[in-house]
Amino acid sequence: MSFIIAFCVGLLVGGAFVKYWSYAHSVGSLRVDESDEEPYIFLELLKGTSTLYKKKYITLKVNIKSFIPRK
């Protein structure tokens, strides 16, 4: 029984660590505008493009939002 409790606690701590790590290391957001027939994608960086050149992989937050209201 104590093994199951320790496993669940470890799972929660590991999940919280991964969420914090990905939030702290994101370089910007990817905005998706679905207000038109075709979706438009915008890249918003928190810092300059020099941070992209130094990394092999990047983490982005995805924001799906309609910027222009439909009529």
Residue 32, amino acid: V
29-47 pLDDT per residue, tens: 888 888 777 888 888 888 8
pTM, two decimals, is: 0.59
Q: Residue 10: is its pLDDT beyond 90?
A: yes
The answer to whether 47 and 27 have CB atoms below 8 angstroms apart is yes
Q: What is the mean pLDDT of the chain?
A: 85
Q: Residue 16: is its pLDDT beyond 90?
A: yes
Percent of the chain at pLDDT > 70 equals 92
Query: CA-to-CA distance for 3 and 58, rounded, in angstroms?
Result: 36
